[in-house]
Amino acid sequence: MHGFANPKRFLSIANWLTPLLFVSGIVLSAVALWWGLFNVPPDRLMGDTVRILFIHVPAAWLGMGGWTAIAISSLVFLVWRHPLASLAARAAAVPGAVFTAVCLATGSIWGRPTWGTWWVWDGRLTSMLVLLFLYFGYIALAQSVAREGGSSRIPAIFGLVGAVNIPIINRSVVWWNSLHQPPSITMGKSAIDPAFLVPLAIAVLGFSLLFGGIVLARMRALLADIQADARLRRKAMGDEALA
Amino acid sequence: MKAKHQRLVLIVIALVALIGASLLAVYALRNQASFFYVPKQMVESPPDVGQAVRLGGMVQAGTLKTLPDGVTVEFIVGDGEQTVPVRFAGILPDLFVEGSGVVAEGRLSADGTFVADNLLAKHDENYVPRELEEMTEHQRKQVVAETIEGTAAKAPGAP
């Protein structure tokens, strides 16, 4: 574990892992989307609108997975003080927010023809919207800490506290009556026919690999930023010493 | 005890307290945060007549009929234990069929009929291709029955 906390060793791995994740993620996502959008049969009730499943579900998974990554990284940062863990949390926030927004948008578009409404304030939809706002708060907080200075512990604590929402999103359709249907996949059982499940699984895997690639690329960019800053500061101090 | 172990213990205690607090909050919200009444709740402790509420359940098979005026429909919504008659005048959502889930927005009238202003179709968690529909008819009925049981079981009291 401590081995990965070394930025040099991290970069030597991330340098080849990033393009690998990007290429495999894009290929798998493209295959899954082509399969899902053009090659699955229509659903018995929803007809062709079922095809939005192949974007909606991976986006929901990564919206929640992104915050889970923030929470775990924040825990590692708070306990072991690994600076890379703090960077990982910051790097996961923007893609997590984007996927959450995609999930909400596709869900809304899907809700209109199937439920008969763009939006309702039921447990699942509301808790997912709260997740999007948590992301906005986290991004703003982490940015201001990075720019204005201040303890990186503040966004880390926010990341941990916000994780309380994740099990609430997951259980919202079980605890409360909601318009959103209960989970289709539970503990090894699936109410989704294999004709839909196989491309869905590929889409989730492909989107996840892509997400991993984005996080690594952003971590490398953040590291480069910090190094450039440090170099400029050293240079400025050197110039002052000469003058 | 090393500093990082201290931090770990502190954070774990804080997280446990936080999770405990949110579980309590969720438990308190258990009924208020529900999106709709199920027929059992509607019958056993009905909301005030005229109060805007939602009713959710399964459209009972064979109960959907159109009144002579051509735009008003009546049907019975059930949860496996109780049933509530519903009246609605307007355009039905595409997914609205007998035997499927529905959420009706409206109010209870004095004669016990639920008068809906708006109907939302509730999709279940099953995704089945059209071609396989006949093959899985029996299975589907089973799942529908299970869903109804689950809905009734998690409605211990009135909101």
Q: What is the C-alpha to C-alpha distance for residues A171 and A193, in angstroms, rounded to an integer?
A: 23
User: Looking at the domain assignment, is residue A237 inside a domain?
Assistant: yes
Report the alpha-carbon angle A3-A6-A12, nearest 5.
Answer: 90
Domain ranges, residue A86: 17-176+193-242
pTM over 0.95: no
Residues of B in contact with A47 (CB under 8 A): 130
- Mean pLDDT throughout B9-34? 84
Cβ separation B125–A50 shorter than 8 A: no
In a domain? residue A24: yes
Q: What pLDDT shows up at residue A102? A: 97
Residue A58: pLDDT band (50, 70, 90) is: very high
Task: Answer yes or no: do B131 and B84 share one domain.
Answer: yes
A114 interfaces chain B, CB cutoff of 8 Å: yes
Please state, in angstroms and rounded to a whole number, the distance separating the CA atoms of residues A28 and A22.
10
For A212, the 3-state DSSP assignment is helix
How many domains would you assign to chain A?
1
pLDDT of residue A47: 83
> Mind listing the pLDDT tens digit for each residue in B97-153?
888 889 999 998 888 899 998 888 888 888 887 765 555 555 555 555 555 544 444
pLDDT attached to residue A215: 96
> What b-and-e string marks burial along A34-49, b requiring 16 or more CB atoms within 10 Å of the CB?
ebbeeebbebbbbeeb
A186 within some domain: no
pLDDT of residue A194: 86
Averaged over A131-140, what is the pLDDT?
A: 97
**What was the pLDDT predicted at B151?**
44
Confidence bin at A242 (pLDDT 50/70/90): low
B127 has binding-site annotation: yes
Query: Is residue A206 scored above 80 in pLDDT?
Result: yes
**A2 in a structural domain:** no
Contact between A222 and A93 (Cβ < 8 Å) = no
Predicted ipTM? Answer: 0.73
What residue type is assigned to position A138 of the chain? Y
Q: What is the pLDDT of residues B53-88, one digit of tens each?
A: 899 888 888 888 888 888 889 999 988 888 899 999
pLDDT of res. A243: 59
Give which of B123, B124, B137, B141 to mutate to test A binding, by max A Cβ within 10 Å: B123
d(C-alpha B81, C-alpha B79), whole Å = 6
Gap between the Cα atoms of B32 and B24, Å rounded: 14
B4: domain range?
A: 1-30
Tell which residue, A114, A93, A92, A3, has the closest CA to residue A48: A114
Would the annotation count B37 as a binding residue? no
pLDDT number for residue B142: 58
Length of chain B: 159
Q: Does A191 touch chain B (CB under 8 A)?
A: yes
Task: State the average pLDDT over residues A46-58.
Answer: 91
What is the distance of C-alpha A224 from the center of its chain? Answer: 22
What is the arithmetic mean of pLDDT over A39-49? 86
Domain tally, chain B = 2
Tell me if A183 is assigned to some domain.
Answer: no
For residue A22, give the CATH number of its domain: 1.20.120
Q: Which residue has the higher pLDDT, B130 or B26?
A: B26
